[in-house]
Amino acid sequence: MVTQLRLQFIRMLLSWKSLLFLFLFPLVIIMGLYPFLSVAVSGSQVPIAWVDDDNSEFSQLVYHRLQENDRLHIKTLNKEEARQQVQTGEVEAAFLIKAGFEEQLKTGETDEIISWIRSNSSTLDAFAKEKIASEAVRLLLNSKAAQFVAARQGNESWEKTYKLADSHWMPAPLFQMEFKWKMGVNTEGDAALPLSLQGVISFLLVYVMGMAAYFYNQWFKDKRSGVLERIKLSTGHVYYYYGAAFLIQLVLLISVTCFVFGLLVRVFQVEWGILTPWMLQFTVILTLVHAILFLMVLILRSPQVYFSISAGIILASFLLGGIPLETLDGLRVGAWLPHGWLFNQNWMEGFM
Amino acid sequence: MIRTEQLKKRYKQKQILHDLSLDIKAGESVGITGPNGAGKTTLLKLLATIEKPTCGALFFEEKPYSSQIKTIRKRIGYIPQDISLFEGLRVKAQINAWRKLSAQTIDDTYMNEMIRILRLNEVMNRRSDDLSGGWKRKLHLCIGLLHKPEICLLDEPTAGIDMAAKVEIIDWLKKLNDAGMTLVYISHDWYELERLSKRLVLMDNGSIVFNGEKRELKDLPANEFSRELANIIHAGKKIVVHK
């Protein structure tokens, strides 16, 4: 088996032109799309619903500070309106400030003070979540500082200490806090990857699937040239040959996956935490497709038939995502590419 | 050494071999010839354990093939017509790879001697894809015989190569046969048939139509096959076909 693995590895390296293309193409695509996608992601305003059940000084303060942000479009709604607009996609998500928000922050409590309502199509709301969280933490820490001083110097020093603490905050605090997810409106985890990037990932998935199919051409060459027969006669069987070829190719595909996601992290400054579930999905789909292709190579004799069926499978996975024509108008391509079909977030919740 | 009895082979609806019986003795050199589609390659594949017969029996040293496949594979060297080498590897790497892949123990002295006689040293560092047809064929033969088989089954061993390389390969095969190796080979080349063996097997339409010494060929009945045979084994070589 070791000899077969070494041999298959060397043979893979010998087809260096195909390997180079395999890795260069995603690089070109990602680097080429970067200027467009970064503008698309940063240039749009994210519509957010604001439901204030506390109506306190603190909740108003957070609201005004959010309004100052160019990337957020805040709509003040009641609970029901917010829920409806999230469902219809008019707003990316809704943040419900519960009654007692200010009181809880002043006492240092953050549990269940904000509800985050979102749907399956919510993707860009993570930015708003971070912004709100940072403002809440800012208020919380200022209050704690003021309380600490007031406990020693009297209640009259609370206001002064609070203002002093607040003045030390940088304009764009980066703190995060845990949100309580509001269940019931197609809620999901915080896989907040811009749709444009989802589209890029899906496109690259189709590309890597195609390349996986292409690399199996070598097996047909071996069949045709009699190499396989010769291996069978020399070694007594072809199991190790197939096993080694399968493993080497799988490692190659996983390497490409890591490379693609590494590029996305590097170029688009996306956090690994957000990309990890996508990377897992990518790898699972690729492994499945790889296994199907492997079985086909074992069964089929004609490379023409093999490539036709492979193209069919790749195309089917593309189409089965469901191409709703109305979604071709913008960046929502991600929804109708393979991951949209095979892996929705609900599925992932069950999987993970 | 090898015996076939009433061998039949069918692919889907097509009968390739009909009741084929053949006896090959140890140390013999048997040339098989006949028109395309006669079933020569299928017969060789059956002898090499690559294919299984639909009907009939194969014996190796009077024991059925099915009971000793592994032993037979160790003792047989099969050289297909198509050159089967790993793409992209250099000659040295190619020989090494096949040497390591082989389940049999390779005798390095024998291997080096074979490399020397075939003059493969001269192209050791060249990529096998870049070699001429003759060199490729020599490498192909060398790899097929790495494990020093007792019986060598060759499917057109000199097809598509120039005369000089052809003579070199035929002389080498002759030496192997003289040293005791049993040769069973397919050829359409009269020079090869003439030089390598006395015994000839003529096949047509899945059956043996002649099995004997070449000098007995003149006794062949005059028919379409005989005329075709005369064309196959190059005109002017004193093949007598009665009219």
Whose structure tokens read 């789909």? A285
Cβ–Cβ < 8 Å for A20, A191: no
d(CA A150, CA B235): 119
Range list of H helices, A121-271: 126-153, 157-167, 195-215, 217-225, 227-235, 239-268
Identify the pLDDT of residue B219. 61
Mean pLDDT of A176-203: 53
At A250-290, the pLDDT tens digits run 898 888 888 888 888 887 777 777 778 778 877 888 888 88
Q: For residue A252, which of A304, A215, A205 has the smallest C-alpha distance?
A: A215
Residue A46: per-residue pLDDT: 76
Q: Could you report the predicted ipTM of this complex, rounded to two decimals?
A: 0.77
Lowest mean pLDDT among A311-325, B82-96, B151-165: A311-325
Q: Which of A95, A57, A306 is nearest to A181 (CA)?
A: A95
What is the predicted pLDDT for the residue at B182?
Answer: 92
Q: What is the mean pLDDT of residues A182-205?
A: 58
Which candidate from B84, B103, B144 shows the least CB-CB separation from A235?
B103
Q: Is the pTM for the entire model greater than 0.80? A: no
CB-closest option in B50, B70, B100 to A3: B100
A-chain CB neighbours of B93 within 8 Å are 10
| Residues of chain B with C-beta less than 8 angstroms from the C-beta of A3 | 97, 100-101
Does residue B166 surpass a pLDDT of 50?
A: yes
For position A181, what pLDDT does the model report?
40
Contact across the interface for A227 and B85, Cβ inside 8 Å = yes
Q: Does residue B215 carry a pLDDT above 90? A: no
Per-residue pLDDT, averaged over B89-105, amounts to: 87
Q: Using CA atoms, how far apart are residues A151 and A139, in angstroms rounded to an integer?
A: 18
Instruction: Please state, rounded to an integer, the average pLDDT across all residues of chain A.
Output: 75
Nearest-CA distance from B242 to chain A in Å? 40
Cross-chain residue pair B50–A7, CB shorter than 8 Å = no
What span, in angstroms and rounded, lies between the C-alpha atoms of A61 and A67?
10
CA angle B116, B122, B123 (to 5 degrees): 115
Q: How far is A277 from chain B (nearest CA, A)?
A: 39
Q: Over range A192-206, report the average pLDDT.
A: 71
Contacts of A94 (CB under 8 A, 6+ apart): A48, A49, A50, A51, A77, A82, A83, A85, A86, A116, A117, A118
